Amino acid sequence: MSKRYNLDHFSLGDELRSLVSEEPSGHAARIKTLFLDYELETFRNNLHAGTLGPVHLTPRYVQERVFATACDPENVRMLIDGFPRDAQRWTPFVEFAEPYWMPSRKSLLIVLGVEEEVARERFVRRGRPGDVFHRRFREHTEMITETVEAMEKDGLTTCRLGKESENLQAVVESLAQLLE
């Protein structure tokens, strides 16, 4: 989707792993300088434990990534993968982003549903332990409704795609009307 619709693909998990690595790359290298050592250690501990990123730090990282210095907020076209993972992270992000952006109908939330087995295969293929997957998938299942409701309450346009869609390609094609 990111290539087809000219969207910058931002995978929060990949970038946070880069952020806490010895040699961060890309956006994480730029953003790392904005965090203190103890904040980076907090990210590192959460990542190693397989838990959600810190509620007081993750939204700040996302804001720095989405609204980089000198960007034109009106022209940000980004596919954000993995954020927010719960409603608690949405509100601080909106607060951090307020100088640049406010939620509106122009912002599109795409909720992709996937069968548990497909998600597990993708997770394990990334070299992560399967036992962590079950906890993470359960957390996602429990939190997604509240997260989406918080975002919709703030005015985001929502498009739900998922496992019940008979022809996922046709559904993805229908996004063209919203993204182009």
Residue 56 covered by a domain: yes
**138/141 Cα distance (integer angstroms):** 5
DSSP per residue over 57-79, as a string? THHHHHHHHHT-TT--GGG--EE
Least confident of 4-8, 35-39, 161-165, 171-175: 161-165
- The residue-averaged pLDDT of 41-66 equals 88
pTM, to two decimals: 0.78
Is residue 2 domain-resident?
A: no
Evaluate whether residue 35 is within a structural domain.
yes
CATH code of residue 72? 3.40.50.300
Which pair of structure tokens corresponds to residue 171? 């559904």
> Residues 79-122: pLDDT tens digits?
888 888 889 889 988 888 888 888 888 888 888 778 888 888 87
| Total domains in the fold of the chain | 1
Tell me: the pLDDT tens digits for 113-146?
A: 788 888 888 778 876 665 678 888 888 889 889 9
pLDDT at 26 over 70: yes
Distances from the Cα of 38 to the Cαs of 35, 43, 56, 60, 138, in angstroms? Answer: 8, 9, 13, 15, 29
Q: Mind listing the pLDDT tens digit for each residue in 55-81?
A: 889 989 999 999 887 777 777 778 888
**pLDDT at residue 54 above 80?**
yes
**Which structural domain range is residue 173 located in?**
8-179
